[in-house]
Amino acid sequence: MTVFRTRRPLLVDATQCAVPTTITTDTGFRHVESGDWIIHGEDGETYVVDDAFFQRTYVAVDTDLALEDASESLSSDDDAPPYSSHQKVDAPITEPCPC
């Protein structure tokens, strides 16, 4: 398995669902359970994650500071290839992918 990390932090808008509902995402309709998070990404995409994944992956940020950091990150990463959101980390492949 090869390990990846995001090149820069992504800013998202997230809302925790209080009641079960169905929403429209980029890939169609998605049922949302109570406690799941509805996330709107930087490029307008919408997706749903459960609370455990959300708590492991996201942290609240001060919006003004986050926007400043994001703009500094973009300006200091001018040599990065466009649309590249991952950086390969050298790691040995120890077992074949089961997919």
CA–CA separation, 75 and 3 (whole Å) = 26
| pLDDT of the residue at 75 | 55
* Contact present, 35 and 15 (Cβ < 8 Å): no
Digits of tens for pLDDT over the chain (99 positions)? Answer: 777 777 777 888 999 999 999 999 989 999 999 999 999 988 889 999 999 999 988 888 876 665 666 566 555 545 544 433 333 333 333 343 343
| pLDDT of the residue at 1 | 77
User: What's the token pair of residue 23?
Assistant: 């929403």
